[in-house]
Chain A
Amino acid sequence: MDFLFKFPDMGRDNLRDFKKDVDTSFLEFSGEYGEAIEKAFDPLLYFLVWFEKLLINTPWPIILLLIGALAWFGSRSIKISIGSVLSLSLIGYLGMWQDTMSTLAIVSAATFLCIVIGIPLGIWMARSNRVQAIITPILDVMQTIPAFVYLIPVVMLLGIGKAPGLLATCIYAIPPIVRLTNLGIRLVSKDALEAADAFGANYWQKLFGVQIPLALPNIFAGMNQTIMMALSMVVIASMIGVAGLGIPVLRSISNQYLALGLLNGLAIVALAIIFDRITQAYGKRLQKHRYGEHND
């Protein structure tokens, strides 16, 4: 009867050996290639450091003006532009300017990286069912696996600092843009594509002239989600040494500083709302043709 109540596991010794094997082999791998991989991330790191310094060293009125202008060109809405400038000013007034600039830097860099990798990946997925069948489960894992779990190998490989932080943020934030690029391109109407074919369009003419423009609303929704997810990684990234609004939040958890945690948390929320409103309004403006008089 004992057999039924104790699951026949592989035994404590075997299990320990198994874990040890995995650990040592990964350690060996990281010892051998860690440096090379770290080197590969160097350009990214330089860019990130340069961008962060740029944001911090630029006089604050110019940054405010730039954000206001960006909001205006993105959304063409006075309300969104003024709201963005006001909320950033409030963040600065509450003493979080420098941390906010650091966060802005890593989120921008992560978003940029996700777009550069994610959109081509999504296009590739849309072209082939086999590629889709392989990548979809990987994206599922990336989205559901607890972030702390993949922080372990990332830190083992790259140590702590900005580069592993960026990598971890990208792992977490890239799935939506890949998924929605794939979906958007697959949803492009067969009729529009057939017409392009019938007029002799080649692969690139179809991709850039028909598929991407018609998938743009979905691609934009993916970009928006990617930015939001990158922002939500800020606190976790700060655990491995990424400067920004996450650090004070982490400090307030360990010391029970309610006000500090709340203020920095709200600053993250404010950034998220600013990004979200600008990109959404821009996405909507891109598809002005969808709001015609005859919508049938």
Chain B
Amino acid sequence: MTDIAVSIKGLYKIFGKNPKKALSRIKQGMSKQDLLEKHNHVLGLNDINIEIPEKQISVIMGLSGSGKSTLIRHINRLMEPTAGEVIIGGENVVEMSKNQIRDLRLHKASMVFQKFGLHVHRTISENVAYGLIVQGMKSDEAKKKSHKWLVRVGLEGFEDHYPSQLSGGMQQRVGLARALATDADILLMDEAFSALDPLIRFDMQNILLELQEELHKTIIFITHDLDEALRIGDQIAILRDGEVIQQGDPQQIILKPNDDYIIDFIKDINRGRVIMAKSLAEKGRKNQGPSVNFKTVLEDVLPIIAKSKSQKVNVVDDQDKFIGVLNLESVIDAMARPNIEVSETYR
């Protein structure tokens, strides 16, 4: 198992005039609706418990209003929680002094924003160097040091441009380079690609995945887009109304959704392109048929199985070690949409 980088325990956030009192009401079992209607307090986060593993991409997914942006702002304490703990490297962020918080933001956790958050009065290279300048580095040195990140995100030649001269995708690359330049281990990405159009978003996901292969940062990625979550997430937590309703491996969430809300969420995804052979492999004896890598998605497994006489394939890992067998029936089962009621007219 990997180590835990960030551990969130019993985190509550209540918006209103007297959050402490509202918290005790919630703990006594009052519902979110009642709290809003009778006491005019909004329950933003409700008893969040998440462990974020080190050096992986952890996605927190939810629709707007689910509290995901509120949650990520508690990790570097841009927001004050009503109750709970956020443990980073053995220290509780909630109890940190102002200076400790500042140190966390300067060196340990950097952030990428949905609306980019660039400084329009600074040039691109000044923006990328911003984190270093705030650390107290001399401007020339900071620019030199941050230059490699500028190159790394493909913006060489734009050093002296201003953000307003760049397209949205390019602006977010600046945002990404700025966050990477401080060498922080934790990268907080708040709907970082949501404002971009689908093609650019796909590009940015690729850039992020490529960088991650090299850098192994602990990335906490907020999104409302399930396809994005499945594409980049090593693990996913799904948030609704300020509560975590399921968390785990993406495959597990698709195959065993534990809530109608999640079923609703995942019904429209292309299952054949997401579910991997390893998730369906059953124990059994190695057969004569062909073998597939355990990370092969069902869409690619299907033609191989169809050609195989036994209608079975062997699933093997990267070292060609046998993991299990996969048969046609379970592939087709898994690719069918779960619990979908076909309306009368189409029957």
Query: B128 → chain A, closest Cβ, in Å?
Result: 11
Minimal beta-carbon separation of A162 from chain B (angstroms): 39
- Residue in chain B with minimal CB distance to A197: B78
Q: Given that A195-B119, A213-B121 are known contacts, is A200 also in contact with B106, CB under 8 Å in the complex? A: yes
Q: Would you mind naming 17 contact pairs between A and B with Cβ atoms under 8 Å apart?
A: A191-B116, A191-B117, A192-B119, A194-B117, A195-B117, A197-B105, A198-B105, A198-B113, A199-B106, A199-B178, A199-B182, A214-B120, A214-B121, A216-B121, A291-B164, A294-B167, A295-B164
Tell me whether B111 and A202 are in contact (CB under 8 A): no
In the assembled complex, the CB of B277 is this many whole angstroms from the nearest CB of chain A, namely: 40
Question: Which of B12-20, B37-45, B130-138, B216-224 lies at the interface with chain A?
Answer: B130-138
Q: Which 7 A-B pairs have the closest CB atoms?
A: A292-B164, A195-B117, A200-B105, A200-B106, A292-B165, A289-B162, A198-B111
Measured between beta carbons, the chain B residues less than 8 angstroms from A194 are 78, 113, 117
Bound: A294/B134 CA distance, A: 28
Whether A289 and B113, one on each chain, are in contact in the complex, defined by CB atoms closer than 8 angstroms, is no
Report the nearest A residue to B165, measured CB to CB: A292
Binding site for A on B (CB under 8 A): 76, 78, 102-106, 110-111, 113, 115-121, 130-131, 133-135, 161-167, 178, 182, 188
Task: Give the chain A neighbours of B115 by CB distance below 8 A.
Answer: 191
Other contacts beyond A199-B105, A214-B120, A287-B121: 13, CB < 8 A? A191-B117, A192-B118, A192-B119, A196-B134, A198-B110, A199-B110, A199-B111, A202-B102, A205-B134, A214-B121, A290-B120, A292-B164, A294-B167
Q: Which residues on the A side are within 8 Å of B167 (C-beta)? A: 294
Among candidates B118, B134, B162, residue contacting A200 with C-beta atoms closer than 8 Å: B134
A239 CB within 8 Å of chain B: no
Task: List, in ascending order, chain A residues with CB within 8 A of B133's CB.
Answer: 209
Q: Is the CB of B164 within 8 A of A195?
A: no
Say how far A256's CB is from chain B's closest CB, in angstroms: 54
Q: Which of B105, B110, B161, B178 has the most CB of A within 10 A?
A: B105
**Shortest beta-carbon distance from B113 to chain A in Å:** 6
Which residue of chain A has its CB nearest to the CB of B171? A294
Q: Does A147 contact B (CB under 8 A)?
A: no
Q: Count of A-B contacts with CB under 8 A?
A: 82
Residue in B120, B134, B178 whose beta carbon sits within 8 Å of that of A289 in the complex: B120
Q: Known contacts A194-B113, A294-B165, A295-B164: does B118 contact A199 (CB below 8 Å)?
A: no
Q: How far is it, in angstroms, between the C-alpha of A70 and the C-alpha of B115 when the chains are bound? A: 40
State whether A294 and B78 are in contact (beta carbons under 8 Å apart), knowing that A195-B117, A199-B130 are contacts in the complex: no
State whether A198 touches B78 (Cβ < 8 A). yes
- In the complex, what distance in Å separates the CA atom of A200 from the CA atom of B103? 7
List A contacts of B165 (CB < 8 A). 292-294
Is A281 among interface residues, defined by CB-CB distance under 8 A?
no
Query: Quick one: which of B105, B135, B162, B182 contacts A292, CB cutoff 8 A?
Result: B162
Contact of A199 among B103, B120, B121, B131 (CB under 8 A): B131
Q: How far is the CA of A292 from the CA of B160 in the complex (A)?
A: 12
A210 at the interface (CB under 8 A from B): yes
Is A201 an interface residue, CB under 8 A from the partner?
yes
Distance in angstroms from A25 CB to nearest chain B CB is: 45
Instruction: Specify which chain A residues have a CB less than 8 angstroms from the CB of B117 in the assembled complex.
Output: 191-192, 194-195, 198
Please encode chain A, from 245 to 275, with 1 for each CB lying within 8 Å of some chain B CB and 0 for all others.
0000000000000000000000000000000
| Docked pose: A293 CA to B158 CA in angstroms | 13
CB distance from A215 to the nearest CB of B (A): 10
Chain B min CB distance to A113 (Å): 28
**Which residues of chain A from 169 to 196 have a CB within 8 Å of any chain B CB?**
191-192, 194-196
Chain B residues positioned under 8 Å from A214 (CB to CB):
119-121
* B-chain residues with CB within 8 Å of residue A287 when the two chains form the complex: 121
Please measure, in the bound complex, the distance between the C-alpha atom of A191 and the C-alpha atom of B114, giving whole angstroms.
Answer: 9
A200 x B102 contact (CB < 8 A): yes
> Can you name the residue of chain B whose Cβ is closest to the Cβ of A201?
B134
Min C-beta distance of B249 to chain A, whole Å:
29
Which chain B residues lie closer than 8 Å to A295 at the CB level?
164
